[in-house]
Amino acid sequence: DIQMTQSPSSMSASLGDRVTITCRASQDIGNYLSWFQQKPGKSPRRMIYGATNLAAGVPSRFSGSRSGSDYSLTISSLESEDMAIYYCLQSIQYPWTFGGGTKLELK
């Protein structure tokens, strides 16, 4: 199975900060990487697909990038509504696997 190692598991940041969350894949997954945001008591929401493509309706301060087997989700200027747990997902090979999640809190 492909392991997705997500870091950090939690972090705190201030409004306006640039924030980066990373997932490392244990095998080549190409660009079959998505990012999801989940707020308390809500269903997850897809933010990024294909490693770099912004999903419909997602603010442009969110972006995705890839460097080798490392995939990153960046928020260019943190807003209060961005406080949530973020998950990555690889969908190139079954079983599809999620990262462990990153809890983003306000400092």
Partner 1 sequence: EVQLVETGGGLVQPGRSLKLSCVASGFTFNNYWMSWTRQAPGKGLEWVASITNSGGSTYYPDSVKGRFTISRDNAQNTLYLQMNSLRSEDTATYYCTREGPFAYWGQGTLVTVSS
Q: Report whether 71 contacts 98 (CB < 8 A).
A: no
At 75, list the tokens.
Answer: 């928020």
- Per CB under 8 A, does 68 bind partner 1? no
Cβ closest to partner 1, residue 24 vs residue 44: 44
Q: Which residue has the tokens 């199975």?
A: 1
Phi and psi for 23 in degrees, rounded to 5? -125, 135
Give least dist CB 32 to partner 1, A.
8
- Give the binding range for partner 1 (CB under 8 A) out of 13-21, 22-30, 72-80, 84-92: 84-92
- Per CB under 8 A, does 87 bind partner 1? yes
Total residues interacting with partner 1, rule: CB under 8 A = 19
Looking only at residues 4 through 33 of this chain, which bind partner 1 when binding is defined by CB under 8 A?
none
Looking only at residues 36 through 55 of this chain, which bind partner 1 when binding is defined by CB under 8 A?
36, 43-46, 49, 55
- Buried/exposed code over 46-59 (b: 16+ C-beta within 10 A; e: otherwise): ebbbebeeebeebe
- Whether the CA torsion 98, 101, 102, 105 is positive or negative: it is positive
Provide the binding-site residues for partner 1, judged by CB under 8 A.
34, 36, 43-46, 49, 55, 87, 89, 91, 94-101
